[in-house]
Structure 1
Amino acid sequence: MNIVLGILSSVGRLIVIGILLVGMANCTQLGLNYASLDVEGKPAAYPPIAHDAEDFLDRREDWIQRIETHITGPIPEGVSGRLIEHRVVDEAYWDGHGILEEFVIAIEGSGKRRDFVLAVAWPKSDGPHPIIISQSFCGNQTAFNYPALTPPLPEALDDFCGGGEPSFMGSMVQKVFGRFISTPPMQQVLDRGYAYASYYTSEVIPDSKEPARALLPDFPHGPRGEISGAVSGWAAAWTAALDVLEADPRVDTDREAIMGHSRSAKSALVAGIYESRIDAIVAHQAGTGGTALSRNKPGETVAGMAKQYPHWFAPNYANFDARGLNTTPVDMHALIALNAPTPLLIGNGRRDVWSDPNGSWRATLEAAPIYAAAGTGGLQQENMQDAPVEADLVFWMRPGGHSITQRDWDFWLDWLDNVMARGDEVPTPTNRVKVAPAK
């Protein structure tokens, strides 16, 4: 009997793995091809912006409205965060390298409210600390590898992880998407002096079509209007988190970074448009609807994205493919450019053709003059592979696919050390002054 049960258990796990892999393939189509390094003969970013960077900055609000109308829906500028509850979870977290805490935060705006839990791991060293605020795919319990953290509400759980606690399903996610897809190299982060915070996106807005659509009309928003896409709504939690964290003396308010992977990278770019307190952004493998140009592209198309994830974007986004090759009203180079002058790292994997590193590189090239005009050192590389760790705008590409690896974290932390250097440290060659973009 035990043998039979063991066989049935193994078969069941294989079925689960198969379902998981199919679902993941729908998300990111894991491939074996390499992204092209050549930009010759490929469609240019349209409409062009690099030819007149000052004009782009002068008409920044017009470009934001284009992004809102055709891609993201209204951005959540004007929402706020309020601390509801705070508790210390573990004063000897990660074998004594840190302190683990929880903050229950309310996102507020337009007379509405949405609560979420932000978990924070603090270094044991004296502060104030630079902080990295991230979004998690599988809940805080998995993100911090700590089951005693508050689990997400059952209605917040999505199909990607199937549960909040570290689990068999979560381990399979890590095997496919990399060791650090759900939990960062926590000891490395803490020992480098960084605090690490994270929240579960599906607790803010469920990453599921019908539940998200049902929630969006009641989600808090600012004067720009009602949120119509989850990517934009997820960005609101970054603002709320900053409101609460900046009141904590342990946070170095001059060194606050946000980090997002895949759909969360798209959200990070939205937050960077309006949230001036963000001092650096890591947008890793943002792909279609993030950093990759939308016209005539390999990998995931706008039509495919809009069909699979209609709750992520504005309703108009589904019409993008129908507008023709040369009549797209806005594309992702403008989204990159609207993040200027905030230091921005655009991450990629050479085998992640589905997310189109080549299209992201061409978008970065078109946005680079805007960064320079906004008062930064701008892009300092001539190709997709030679990423300078000190640049304000950097295109990072390592071998491998749609994942988060040790190599990513090593570079990200070195880059953050440079672009968020302490005021009393020797400045890097590029200009670190945060200049408010022209309106």
Structure 2
Amino acid sequence: MNRTLTIVGLSYCLLHLSLSTAISAPPDANYDEAKVPEYTLPDPLVAADGASVDDPAEWISKRRPEILELFKTHVYGRSPDAPKRLQYELTSIDRQALGGKATRKEIAIKLGDAPNAPSMNLLLYLPNDVSKPVPVFLGLNFKGNHTIHSDPGITLSEVWSRPSKGRAGEKKRGSEKSRGTSASRWPVETIIDRGYGLGTIYYGDIDPDFHDGFKNGVHPHHDKHESAERPADAWGSIAAWAWGLSRAMDYFERDDDVDQKKVAVLGHSRLGKTSLWAGATDPRFALVISNDSGCGGAALSRRRFGEKVKRINTSFPHWFCGNFDKYNDNEAALPVDQHMLIALIAPRPVYIASAAEDQWADPRGEFLSGLHADPVYRLLGTDGIATKEMPKVDQPSHSAISYHVRTGKHDLTAFDWGQYLDRADTIFQGSATPAK
């Protein structure tokens, strides 16, 4: 069978997308479907030796490891093993948080075996009126744990400032004024009322989000390079953030209040790229959610639509491994594309979400990644993606590969969360039941 995935011209118009013609684009961005180049996608079901993969066992033992290795070599880099032993400390607990409806825990998790290794601070809310253990949503946040809710009991995070005018980035404690400033992206009460827990970590605890030569965060504590020059396949920040999510999963396996078999990992934007890589590398995540992840996340690189590989590598040289620079304006040479990242998550359910006005993240390219991962999901016995056509705005399609494009801009909204909670209800089959 010839499974070559060739897209000729991609004459798709942006059907069903409510877009303004006044959208401003950076000079090097393409927002015109007519300018999407012809491209051929690597086939996830053709092995490196040219053999077709027609059996689930072959996928698991042969083809999946090949694809994972390609992503490590060319895109995200190689992450270290977990620390030899998990070190964590319960730093606070309130069993009557949020007016008594939740238990709030704060846990400091050491990110290395050395005494001076950094720690990340996990904020965990668990519903009180359900039987334990409970399923949990886990995601990194951008501005500190204290910004996700106005709860005065949340410890103020130490957050990184970006370097400016030759000054290095600095880490300072967040202010009371910043409490709850990101609450619109984290509907804590809604999540609790639906019977789920929520865990979140400030991503700067793991690695600061600026290019400092990998001197801060977890990298210097785990890099064991024999030469002074950093290898071209060494892990970047996205791989580090994903590695940190797996360390939170290590903790969940020791917390009797958490159902570690029912953990959904979620991320928005660059942290959506992170959640996908975490889901690809750590099969313990039962549901993987990408919200507006775009280039280097769910969007196909070969489409060269919105943000391109060169732009993301230029703006954020610390996110990916050094080898990814080879594909600046050279996406066709990539041995992988992002549909293969989605395929690495199979057969576990994945949810890809876009926003109609977020053309920088290429909504159609995000949908097409799900569509072209469908053969792997079906090979492994799932229903794959439920539609071959991009759904209309605000009309989600739920299946093993779920997708929606919602009204609005680049954000994580109540609409998005409503879909993720509904999907979790189906996958986890009402496991969060009222306590007797």
Q: When the two structures are superposed, what TM-score results if normalisation uses the length of structure 1?
A: 0.78
Shift of 1:274: 2.3
Instruction: Give the conservation status (yes or no) of the 8 Å contact 1:279–1:420.
Output: no
Shift of 1:218: 1.7
Distance 1:276 1:85 in 2: 25
Instruction: Say whether 1:413 aligns with 2:408.
Output: no
Shift of 1:362: 1.7
Instruction: Give the conservation status (yes or no) of the 8 Å contact 2:196–2:432.
Output: no
Instruction: Classify 1:423/1:102 alpha carbon distance in 2 versus 1 (closer, same or farther; 3 Å).
Output: closer
Shift of 1:31: 4.1
What secondary structure does 1:210 align onto? coil
Distance 2:84 2:162 in 1: 26
Shift of 1:220: 3.5
Instruction: Give the conservation status (yes or no) of the 8 Å contact 2:307–2:360.
Output: yes
Shift of 1:375: 2.7
Instruction: Say whether 1:194 aligns with 2:196.
Output: yes
What secondary structure does 1:260 align onto? strand
Distance 1:135 1:41 in 2: 33
Shift of 1:256: 1.1
Q: Which has the higher contact order (CA 8 A, sep 6+)?
A: 1
Shift of 1:259: 0.7
Structure 1 match to 2:245: 238
Task: Note the 1:247-286 alignment, pairs <5 A.
Answer: 247-286=254-293
Task: Note the 1:221-370 alignment, pairs <5 A.
Answer: 227-323=234-330, 326-370=332-376
**Aligned partner letter, 1:199:** I
Distance 1:378 1:37 in 2: 29
Choose the corresponding residue for 1:65, options 65, 69, 80: 69
Distance 2:92 2:219 in 1: 34
What secondary structure does 1:360 align onto? helix
Instruction: Give the conservation status (yes or no) of the 8 Å contact 1:83–1:106.
Output: yes
Instruction: Say whether 1:46 aligns with 2:41.
Output: yes
Distance 2:353 2:203 in 1: 20
What secondary structure does 2:422 align onto? helix
Distance 1:142 1:122 in 2: 18
Distance 1:420 1:222 in 2: 40
What secondary structure does 1:180 align onto? helix
Instruction: Classify 1:56/1:254 alpha carbon distance in 2 versus 1 (closer, same or farther; 3 Å).
Output: closer
Choose the corresponding residue for 1:108, options 104, 109, 112: 112
Instruction: Classify 1:168/1:122 alpha carbon distance in 2 versus 1 (closer, same or farther; 3 Å).
Output: closer
Instruction: Say whether 1:127 aligns with 2:132.
Output: yes
**Aligned partner letter, 1:350:** A
**Aligned partner letter, 1:282:** I
Instruction: Give the conservation status (yes or no) of the 8 Å contact 2:102–2:192.
Output: yes
**Aligned partner letter, 2:42:** P
Instruction: Give the conservation status (yes or no) of the 8 Å contact 2:355–2:408.
Output: yes
What secondary structure does 2:403 align onto? strand
Instruction: Give the conservation status (yes or no) of the 8 Å contact 1:291–1:336.
Output: yes
Distance 2:32 2:391 in 1: 9
Instruction: Give the conservation status (yes or no) of the 8 Å contact 1:361–1:384.
Output: yes
Shift of 1:227: 4.8
Choose the corresponding residue for 1:164, options 143, 159, 174: 174
Instruction: Give the conservation status (yes or no) of the 8 Å contact 1:77–1:221.
Output: no
What secondary structure does 2:242 align onto? helix
Shift of 1:328: 2.2
The runs of 5 or more residues in structure 1 that have no matched partner are 1-29, 426-439
Task: Note the 1:20-39 alignment, pairs <5 A.
Answer: 31=23
User: Over residues 129-153 of structure 1, what are the superposed CA-to-partner deviations in whole Å (9 max), with x where a residue is unaligned?
Assistant: 1111110001111123334433333
What secondary structure does 1:409 align onto? helix
Instruction: Give the conservation status (yes or no) of the 8 Å contact 2:146–2:180.
Output: no
- The alignment of Structure 1 onto Structure 2 pairs a total of residues equal to 384
Instruction: Classify 1:419/1:158 alpha carbon distance in 2 versus 1 (closer, same or farther; 3 Å).
Output: farther
Instruction: Classify 1:110/1:366 alpha carbon distance in 2 versus 1 (closer, same or farther; 3 Å).
Output: farther
**Aligned partner letter, 2:209:** D
Distance 2:116 2:276 in 1: 24
Distance 1:402 1:424 in 2: 31
RMSD: 3.4
Instruction: Give the conservation status (yes or no) of the 8 Å contact 2:83–2:111.
Output: yes
Distance 1:272 1:84 in 2: 23
Instruction: Classify 1:170/1:317 alpha carbon distance in 2 versus 1 (closer, same or farther; 3 Å).
Output: farther
What secondary structure does 1:300 align onto? coil
Structure 2 match to 1:19: none
User: Over residues 215-239 of structure 1, what are the superposed CA-to-partner deviations in whole Å (9 max), with x where a residue is unaligned?
Assistant: 564243799x985201001111111
Which stretch shifts more, 49-58 or 373-382? 49-58
Instruction: Give the conservation status (yes or no) of the 8 Å contact 1:76–1:235.
Output: no
Instruction: Classify 1:414/1:234 alpha carbon distance in 2 versus 1 (closer, same or farther; 3 Å).
Output: same
Name whichever structure is richer in helix by fraction. Answer: 1
Structure 1 match to 2:94: 90
Distance 2:193 2:179 in 1: 29
Instruction: Give the conservation status (yes or no) of the 8 Å contact 2:371–2:388.
Output: no
Task: Note the 1:127-146 alignment, pairs <5 A.
Answer: 127-146=132-151
User: Over residues 313-346 of structure 1, what are the superposed CA-to-partner deviations in whole Å (9 max), with x where a residue is unaligned?
Assistant: 00111221243x5322221111111111121001
Choose the corresponding residue for 2:402, options 381, 394, 403: 394
Distance 1:97 1:410 in 2: 20
Distance 2:84 2:209 in 1: 22
Instruction: Give the conservation status (yes or no) of the 8 Å contact 2:265–2:279.
Output: no
Shift of 1:201: 0.6
Distance 2:297 2:263 in 1: 21
Structure 1 match to 2:8: none
Structure 1 match to 2:206: 204
Instruction: Give the conservation status (yes or no) of the 8 Å contact 1:135–1:198.
Output: yes
- Percent identity, aligned pairs only? 26
**Aligned partner letter, 2:271:** S
Shift of 1:309: 0.6
